[in-house]
Amino acid sequence: MNNLLIMRHGEAAPGFPDSQRLLTPRGEREAATMARWLAARMGKDDARPILCASPYARAQQTAELIGKALGCPLETLEFITPEDDPAAVAEWLLTQPEGAPIMLVSHMPLVGNLTGLLVEGRSEQGIGFATAAIAELEAEVWAAGCARLKRFTQPSQLT
């Protein structure tokens, strides 16, 4: 089984341009909480995820906290911004090595639409994500409707 973690960035301050919005202090705490939770769940011998984030500042900040806690490098993907096509992300997932867990840090509506596409087969069936929430999926293949939602966790559940 292949594993995918889809995370929405922490709470961000309003501003313009959208791509430059930064995490609020609350958003930093949310991301740090989730990073600690993920790190506590990982065993010493567990494979570290391939960590990818949107180029937007708030997603980069969130992913940096995750990467530091998990000890994995961060890769930026230009095609996982808020309004990008979830089908294009699913196509990219098909090109990734089998067995390596993947973690994507992005934005609404993409995170909800991608989860809906992979689990329900339709992007408009997506779920809502609180800030810094993580959906954990597993699948034999990353195709529409072929994934199973294993767990959905948000910071408020951990505090």
| CA 78 to centroid of chain Cα atoms | 14
| Number of structural domains in the chain | 1
Parent domain of 143: 2-157
- Which CATH number does the domain housing residue 139 bear? 3.40.50.1240
Angle (CA) 123-100-146 rounded to 5° is: 30
- Name the pTM for this structure: 0.96
Q: What is the pLDDT of residue 153?
A: 97
10-residue averages of pLDDT along the chain (159 residues): 96 97 98 97 84 98 97 97 97 91 97 97 88 97 96 93
Burial class (CB in 10 A: 0-12, 13-18, 19+), 18: middle
